[in-house]
Structure formats: structure tokens, C-alpha cells
Amino acid sequence: MSSTHDAAQPFQVSGVVPSLAQIGDFGPPRTEIGVGALMPWNGVLYVQNYNSHKARSGSGVSLRRISADMTMEVVPETLGVDGTYTNRFVHYPTGRLVIGPQVIEEDHTIHVVPELQEHRLCGTTHHLQHPDTHVYVLTMEGLVFELNMLTLETAQVWDLNEELNTEGEWKVHYKDCYTAYGRFIVCSNEYGEAEWAGERSRGRLAEFDGETWRILARKPYTAIAGRGEFAGTIFASGWDRASAILEVYTEADDKWTRYRLPKASHTFDHKWQTEWPRIREVEHERLLLDHHGMYYELSPWAYGGRIWGVRPISTHLWVLGDFCSWRGMLVMGADNASPSTGHNATTAEPQSGLWFGKTDDLWSYGKAAGWGGPWWEDEVAADAPSDPYLMTGFDQKVLHLQNHGSTEACVTVEVDPRGDGSFGVHHVLTVAPGELSSYVFPAGFSAHWLRLVSDRDAVLTAQLFYT
């Protein structure tokens, strides 16, 4: 292989370029180094890596810059800027990029904001009152700052632990924020055995309308995204013990609707193991959703207040901090190997890779499969339809229905083949008290969405397995 070819094509293994790996120090302290944010900016790709908790001297965290020739450099102004940073946002009115605690000008001049450096930063978005000059910056501990993009002055606006009745550092991880349609939206992803058992509900999806805060859901959520005020929608991804969740705001009817999706793996069923699965626009006017071990296509548009452009692509076990499109490629940044204070005895120094490919490569990953459903030991009201549950894009399908109550329940299986909320009866399933009934869908049968309706008040579990 010629040297010219080597220069043009750096060594890579299945899309991973080892020379671009993020490598941290052996320690002490032993930590992790993951890719928290990826952002193309005026010809280069910025990589913001992170450690496991605030500043850890000597962990190797810094902002990196990858050029078009696939060489990487440490941004010297950020040496010693060390912590957990996963935020990135382009503020077009001032022509500046926010990534981590840095503000970057169009000519790549770097400004480090000292007041933000000490915090774990997880989201940046438009300011409601001053969108041309300010942005909001969210910390994992639930503090919200406003940042003046011209002067770089900061001021704390809220402590969300007070506004939303959460518990701050080590108790709740705030994960993302987003602004559109006159609302500032935040989420946190607290989830452990107490949440699984229904004994506690610390997770939040909440919005501020300029006057008051409103809690939309007391469940774990990890990502919020959309196409600004262009497509009429906002998406938020979360989960509970029953299934993965996609919450959708539609401008046309000014409301949120909950949809449910399969889980591809239970290894994401903890706040520390979800990290930062994203919803990103990776092709022109098309969204890619990474959610609970599965990739989905996601259309930004809704018609009649409903969405149906959701299709599973493939399954995976990657912990992905961020992904983006850059120079015609899909770029993914992982959290691959974390010693995490020594708990991972098979890993020496922390290290994480970057994957370069094209979006269509995702279809060569694990075939779409998973499980979940609308109910898990839920108190179901008579004649009240369940949340819609995704049905399209999977092969074999079976429904398991359990009755935890003391009276027989008759449950109607309704399907929506058009995706516009027009559900029709497909099957009726009767389940005796304390019993389980199963129904195997005909081979090749599918629709966009499925929902269930009980004929009486009951305590029911409904889980579907797609293989």
C-alpha cells in the first residue's frame, strides 16, 4: 500500500480509526473518558470528551479538533478544562458554537467560560426572552444558567431541584434541554430498582412556558430534540419498566402524546447505563433516534397531530454519547472502556473510539428485535385505550397478557394500519384472574401502531415480543 494511499485513508477497523481514539490517563484517579459531544464547525469536527464526575486532575479530558485530513489535535486553550461535558449548540444570531464550557467563534477562536467549567454540563439551547443574545445551559445537578453569547457573562436562573421537586447531585441526573414553541423543556433520567418496583419516581420531563414550570411526566427521559420551529414537533425519549417511550409535542394541537417502543436490551435500564442516547438530524430533514439499544428512523413531521414515520433500523450495545453528520459521513462517538475507579478490572487507561461510516451502514447491525408493551402490572380503567405501541418493522410478533386481578378481563387488540390514529379491532383476548393468555399474530401481519382496551377496571400486564 503506497504512502499516498495511507495518507488519504488512515488505518481503520470496521469504521473505527484507532489514531482518533480518546485516551485518558491511567490514573489515579481512575475514571472514564467518553465522547460527550460531536459538532462540525467551519471545516473541522470538534470532539468534547468527558470524565465521570466534574474535575479530575490528570484524567486527560480536553477538547479535540479533527481536520479534513483525519488528523486530530488537542485544543491547547482547553488543557486543564476537565469535567463532564456533553452539551453542544450553534447560536446562529452571534455565529458562535457552545460546546462544553467553551464558546468558539467562526475563526475558531476559543473562549473558556470559567463559571461553567466547574459544572457537569449536559444541555444548551435557545433563551426564551433573549434568543438573539443569550442561551440556557443545563447542568446534570439541575442548575440552569443563562449565558450571554456576546459578553460571556453567566447568571443562574433556576435550581430545578426546587422547581421540580428532585434531589440534586448523585440523586438525579439531568440529561438534556430544548427550546421551541414558547417552551423550555428539560429532562432527567433517574432510574433504579425503586423506580422499577414503582416505589419512587424521580425522573422528570418538564417544561417552562415563560411563567410557570409544569411536570409532564415523572419517568426517566434522556433526550429532547426537534427541528426548531420548522416541523411543528418536539421529541423526547425515555422509558419505564413496561417499554421505551417516545413523547411527542405537536404544535397543531398544542399537546404532548405518548408513544411506546420496544426495548432492544435491558442493559439500558439504569440511569448510569443510558448515558446520552440522542435524537439527531443526520441526513437532510431526517432524524435518527438512538433509544434503548435500537436505532430508529424518525420523521420530524406530524400530520393530524399523529406521527407514523418511526421505523426500527437495527439493534446495538454501544454506549453513544453523540453522533452527527460530517463531510458526508455519519460519525459516532462512544464510551467504550471505563475503569470507573477500578471497578472494571480488565481496563487499564480509559479509552473510547470514534466510528466513521454512512447512515445506511446501520442496517447491517443486529436485526431489529425487542420487547415491551403498554402495561406492566398497571391499574387499567375500563374502555380506556392504552398508549400506542410500535408494531411496524419487526418480523414475528406475540402478545402476552397477564391478569393480576380477581375478575376475568376481556381485552381488545386494536391496530392502526395507516398511522393516523384510526384504530380498528383485530382480535379479542380473554384472560382469567391470575392467568396468562398469549396471542401469536399471523405471519407477515403488521401495522404502524397497536393499542389495547380492557372491558373493565383491572390490573394487567401486556408485553409484546418481536423476534
Tens digits of residue pLDDT in 266-310: 999 999 898 889 999 998 899 999 999 999 999 999 999 999 889
Q: Give the whole-number percent of the chain exceeding pLDDT 70.
A: 96
Distance, in Å, from the CA atom of 364 to the CA atom of 112, rounded to the nearest integer, reads 41
- CATH says 370-466 is which class? mainly beta
Span 135-144, average pLDDT: 97
- Listed in sequence order, the DSSP H helices in 64-214 are 114-117, 160-163, 193-196
**Which pLDDT score, from 0 to 100, does residue 5 have?**
43
Its pTM stands at 0.95
Torsion of CA 134, 138, 144, 148, to 10 degrees: -20
Strands 183-188, 204-208: parallel, antiparallel or unpaired by DSSP?
Answer: antiparallel
Over residues 120-149, mean pLDDT: 97
pLDDT at 3 over 60: no
The Cα–Cα gap between 349 and 154 comes to 35
Spatial distance between the Cα atoms of 147 and 158, rounded to a whole number of angstroms: 13
Residue spans of the domains in the chain: they are 13-364, 370-466
First to last CA, the chain: 43
Q: Does the bond joining 220 to the residue before it have cis omega, within 30 degrees of 0?
A: no
Nearest to 319 by CA among 246, 270, 371: 270
Above 50 in pLDDT, residue 4?
Answer: no
Query: Is the bond preceding 388 in cis, omega lying within 30 degrees of 0?
Result: no
> Residue 276: what are its φ and ψ, rounded to 5°?
-130, 65
Check residue 342 and give its pLDDT.
77
Q: pLDDT, tens digit, for every residue of 310-365?
A: 999 999 999 999 999 999 999 999 999 888 777 888 888 889 999 999 999 999 99
State the CATH class of domain 13-364.
mainly beta
C-alpha span between 179 and 228 (Å, rounded): 8
